[in-house]
Amino acid sequence: MANHSQFGFQDASSPIMEELVEFHDHALMVALAICSLVLYLLALMLMEKLSSNTVDAQEVELIWTILPAIVLILLALPSLQILYMMDEIDEPDLTLKAIGHQWYWTYEYTDFKNLTFDSYMTPTVDLPLGHFRLLEVDNRVIIPMESSIRVIITADDVLHSWAVPTLGVKTDAIPGRLNQTSFITTRPGIFYGQCSEICGANHSYMPIVVESTPLIHFENWSSLLSS
């Protein structure tokens, strides 16, 4: 959960989000090195007198042609690795279908026969003490911890987007089309997200709450709701 005046990311709760945070820090260090070098050369040019060495220097031209290519490679390789990791879905332990409506979500656990429910935002007047306004829902998505979860995402009316920042998940929900994503939660907890695609007047009232629990708790919950 994000805090007031927070500059960084939320604490990662999935391996993909951990990789994204590490790549973000890596890219920032590369950008910091580039800015420092440019500022140093700019200050050096302003303080030194111009000479013929700055007018014709093939070695310098060769360096500032090759160096940006090396920097791009240092950024592209880890980025491509993360992209392949995000697209790879290999034998999930649980499949969840999320359907976006104006303005609520419907969830279907396709591995169970009668496990389907709607998830609406909890109104402020009904919000229990200590819960988050505009982020709490009446029915949370319960998933087992340390299990591969595949989410199939679509919409019933207009464009939506199923996004949970701490899990590193953001996938568009498009009417007539099935998109999919996957994640693994590394710890128990409650993770909050929202619809990230402008979908109408109540766009800001479509929260997403994912609760990660131990496997035994998930089995008890699923057997209770599907019976």
Same-domain check for residues 46 and 132 = no
Q: For residues 211 and 166, what is the distance between their CA atoms, to the nearest angstrom?
A: 12
DSSP category for residue 11: P
The domain that contains 189 carries what CATH number?
2.60.40.420
Query: Is pLDDT of 2 > 80?
Result: no
User: Exposed, middle or buried by CB within 10 Å (0-12, 13-18, 19+), for 178?
Assistant: exposed
15 with 186: CB under 8 angstroms? Answer: yes
Same-domain check for residues 59 and 128 = no
Mean pLDDT (whole number) for 3-25: 87
Tell me if residue 159 falls in helix, strand or coil: coil
Q: What is the pLDDT of residues 110-150, one digit of tens each?
A: 988 889 999 999 998 888 888 888 999 999 999 999 999 99
Return the sign of the alpha-carbon dihedral for residues 135, 141, 142, 145: negative
Hey, what are 183's tokens?
């994640």
Same-domain check for residues 137 and 215 = yes
Q: What is the pLDDT of residues 38-72, one digit of tens each?
A: 899 888 888 876 655 555 667 778 888 898 898 89
Mean pLDDT of the chain: 88
Mean pLDDT (whole number) for 7-34: 90
pLDDT of the residue at 1: 67
Same-domain check for residues 146 and 102 = yes
pLDDT of the residue at 4: 76
pLDDT of the residue at 24: 92
pLDDT of the residue at 209: 95
For residue 105, whether the previous peptide bond is cis, meaning omega lies within 30 degrees of 0, is no
**Predicted model pTM:** 0.83
Q: Report yes or no on 2 lying in a domain.
A: no
The residue segments making up the domain with residue 128 are: 94-225
Q: How far apart are the first and last CA of the chain?
A: 33
pLDDT of the residue at 227: 66
The domain that contains 57 carries what CATH number?
1.10.287.90
Q: Which of 159, 133, 156, 135 is nearest to 210 (CA)?
A: 135
Q: Which of 41, 71, 87 is the last residue of a domain?
A: 87
Between strands 141-144 and 148-155, the pairing is unpaired
Same-domain check for residues 104 and 210 = yes
Q: What is the pLDDT of residues 158-211, one digit of tens each?
A: 999 999 999 999 999 999 999 999 999 999 999 999 999 898 888 889 999 999
Helix intervals (H) in the chain: 15-47, 58-87, 215-226
Q: For residues 100 and 153, what is the distance between their CA atoms, to the nearest angstrom?
A: 8
pLDDT of the residue at 56: 62
Tell me if residue 123 falls in helix, strand or coil: coil
Q: Which residue has the tokens 């609520």?
A: 104
Q: Report yes or no on 1 lying in a domain.
A: no
Q: For residues 125 and 155, what is the distance between their CA atoms, to the nearest angstrom?
A: 29
Q: For residues 193 and 191, what is the distance between their CA atoms, to the nearest angstrom?
A: 7
Q: Report yes or no on 48 lying in a domain.
A: yes
Hey, what are 39's tokens?
């500022």
